[in-house]
Structure 1
Amino acid sequence: MSHKVAIVWRGDGATRAEATPENNRYIRIFSELRVLGIEAEPAVYCEELQDEVRAQLMKTDGVLVWVNPLQDERTREKLDALLREVAATGRFVSAHPDVILKMGVKEVLHRTKHLGWGTDTCLYRSAGEFRDGFPFQLHAGGPRVIKQNRGNAGQGVWKVELITQPSGATPSVTVLEARSGSVPETLPLERFIARCDPYFDWGGCIIDQPFQPRLPDGMIRCYMGADKVAGFGHQKIKALIPPPPEGPDAPAAQPGPRIMHGPDAPQFQALRTKMESEWTPQMMKVLGIERHSLPIIWDADFLYGPKDAAGEDSYVLCEINVSCVFAIPDQAPAAIARLTLERLSAH
């Protein structure tokens, strides 16, 4: 085999010692890489073994990374520094940490809000800006959704709804976090705003968007292999929807299965055309990202927006995922392997 790559995911020392190409959820990616003549090896990462992982990555031609921005109370700070070091030697890294900071954070929703996937989106760069600006947006009408800049699994994503009160009363809100198992909470608006102060320490900003009333219709996850659609996933999600009286653990409170579809699924062809011919090229221009730097696998999560005059659906971008995109459609592992070979050949 002419090329060697490492596949990186988070684990502990024991997981690292026991990892093989066959005993993890990336088995199909390992297999498709092997079909194309690429030697792939597991590189389980933990901060305690940073030097060992560095030595391993420096013996490869490229690195594919699946590590969440927040997991088990750990961030990617040290890993990202290592990946930048590896990339500086000429090895390709997907996704490169600097690319993640451009497109895999919530700030991208504000930077691209003028594109066809955008909506009324505000950005606050400090606790003071949030304290001054967010109440105005909330009073302007309708519930809002605030999002910390970096996170996953619904952490730091809140639906916030103003409670109608007598004139002059201290404003109160009902809030619900998107994290699994969350329940609505009522508290003074000022206290909720103070609760969000730590988001500026890690992510640097907070994003604020209107709540999308068609959320119960489900979320469409558009999987991208660089600049081409690799498939779709449709799921009836429960995040930001209050749980039933039985509580957040009741069956009715659980999200439905994500139904996977290939890139040619007829019900998503309008979205595919928008992503490939309009929105992705426009995003690349806005963010200053060349095609060879796009993540080998990433996804854009869409909610249904208002129907247009002809009764056709519109789509509102609610998130771009880059750091750890999995599970993936059946067609995606082969696309990942093809793009990996393309990047290796270019390097």
Structure 2
Amino acid sequence: MDTQPHTRLRSENRRCKIAILSRGDAASRREATPQNSRFVRVFEALAASGIAAVPVVYDETFADAVRDQLLTMDGVLVWVDPIHQGKTRAALDPLLREVAAKGPWVSAHPDVILKMGVKDVLYRTRHLGWGADTHRYATVDAFRAEFPSRLRAGGPRVLKQNRGNGGQGVWKVETVPKTDATIRVLHALRGSQPEEMPLADFMARCEQYFGWGGCIIDQAFQPRLPEGMIRCYVSAAKVAGFGHQLIKALIPPPPQGPDSPEAQPGPRIMHGPDAPQFQALRRLMEDEWIPQMMAALTIDETSLPVIWDADFLYGPRDADGADTYVLCEINASSCFAIPDEAPAAIAQTVRDRIGRNMASVR
């Protein structure tokens, strides 16, 4: 029996090379090294597993050079947000599809992101145990026809554009008492203030989301939001850690204002996968929800991202007083920062993917 798996991987994969792709400008591309990268711990974990990794910086202005470089790789790990300083992945995703079609495996593949890393996953998996009162508006006409009555009937709602990050395009919407068509809205983007406006004006503001994202998702507001958000980090189908944070998004700012220290979110406290307080959630994820999600979205385990996360809010307590969890987002495009235990889990998943690719080539 071979008791040295890392040595065996090195000998069989001397030329195996993985790109770690992130967004940046021409200067950062020239100067990029594993040591000055924010992903340095991932580079170190890959190296310890006998896997060579190189930083590759992407921007639309030098996309052709990036494509040529990626085509020399055996795999590509992608950390690029859906929206960053006004830029989207509209040009990057076709490039990554082209690269993947020519041989290198890409994680997360853009087609997988479109299944699980967009807000539409909240609607498509609403029947799972992590689901809540969730609706989907596929067109502007459907939004105009259905949202007003749903808002009036069901209390505060949270609208989410399909593709976004950092709270962009996420709104808490509630009616203003004793008015017919005035609403109060609060953007999840940091520094936002509540606004009151006619419902029709707000809905017109949201129509832009049907262009880039294709739909709007509508969820019931979760009143336990002030108790914080739990981020469950996953590598392929195994939990790699947790983060708990007292968030301030969708909570009205204090009297001191949205830029005051009191209005800022608390630190995200990271935990390993064995943290006792999260074992019930871990069992639900690994034993039930991840397999059910894969079936609902037709994703096989080998296509799951090497690192992704599921964000949960606390739902209503059950009959025994135990916590329930409501999924509010899955991040698959650019999951970072990550717990200390996650780089080793990423390296293990990469190693498994390389082994499968080698076996398929033989």
Bucket of the pairwise TM-score, normalised by the shorter protein: over 0.9
Q: Distance in 1 between matches of 2:124 and 2:45?
A: 35
Secondary structure, aligned partner of 1:52: helix
- TM superposition shift of 1:41: 0.5
Q: Give the match for residue 244 of structure 2.
A: 234
Equivalent AA in structure 1 for residue 231 of structure 2: R
Q: How does 1:304-323 map to 2 (within 5 A)?
A: 304-323=314-333
| One-letter identity of the residue aligned with 2:187 | E
Are the aligned partners of 1:2 and 1:38 in contact in 2 as well (CA < 8 Å)? no
- CA shift, 1:90, in A, is 2.1
3-state secondary structure, aligned to 2:28 = helix
Instruction: Give the match's secondary structure for 1:223.
Output: strand
TM-score (ref. length: structure 2): 0.94
Structure 1 portions without partners, runs of 5+: none
Q: CA deviation at 1:345?
A: 1.6
Once residues 318 and 137 of structure 1 are traced to their aligned partners in structure 2, the CA distance between those partners, rounded to angstroms, is 19
Aligned to 1:12: 25
Q: Contact conserved, 1:5 with 1:38, CA < 8 A, in 2? A: yes
Matches within 5 A, 1:72-151: 72-151=85-164
The reply to whether residue 46 of structure 1 matches residue 46 of structure 2 is: no
After superposition, residues 168-179 of structure 1 pair within 5 angstroms as: 169=180, 171-179=181-189
State whether structure 2 residue 354 is matched by structure 1 residue 344. yes
Q: Which residue of the other structure, out of 334, 339, 354, is the alignment partner of 1:329?
A: 339
- In the alignment of these two chains, the number of paired residues is 344
For each residue in 1:290-345, what CA deviation from the matched residue of structure 2 results, as whole angstroms up to 9, or x when unmatched? Answer: 00000010000000000011110000000000000000000000110111111112
Where does residue 284 of structure 1 map in the other structure?
Answer: 294
Amino acid at match of 1:54: R
Write the distance in 2 (CA, Å) between the matches of 1:242 and 1:139.
21
Contact 1:229–1:276 (CA under 8 A) maintained in structure 2? yes
1:211 is aligned to: 221
Determine helix, strand or coil for the equivalent of 2:249.
coil
Instruction: Give the one of 45, 56, 62 matched to 2:69.
Output: 56
Is the contact between residue 3 and residue 37 of structure 1 (CA under 8 Å) also seen in structure 2?
A: no
Query: Partner letter of residue 151 of structure 1?
Result: G
Matching of residue 71 in structure 1 with residue 84 in structure 2: yes
Aligned equivalent of 1:152:
165
Q: CA deviation at 1:2?
A: 3.8
Q: CA deviation at 1:165?
A: 2.2
Q: In the aligned structure 1, how far is the partner of 2:15 from the partner of 2:102?
A: 19
**Structure-2 separation of matches of 1:135 and 1:81:** 37
- Give the structure-1-normalised TM-score: 0.98
Distance 2:91 2:28 in 1: 19
Residue 9 of structure 2: aligned partner: none
Aligned-partner residue type, residue 296 of structure 1: V
Distance 1:126 1:148 in 2: 12
Percent identical residues? 65
Pairwise mapping of residues 21-32 of structure 1 onto structure 2 (< 5 A)?
21-32=34-45
| Runs of 4+ with >6 A deviation | none
Secondary structure of the corresponding residue to residue 77 of structure 1: coil
Secondary structure (helix, strand or coil) at the match of 2:68 reads helix
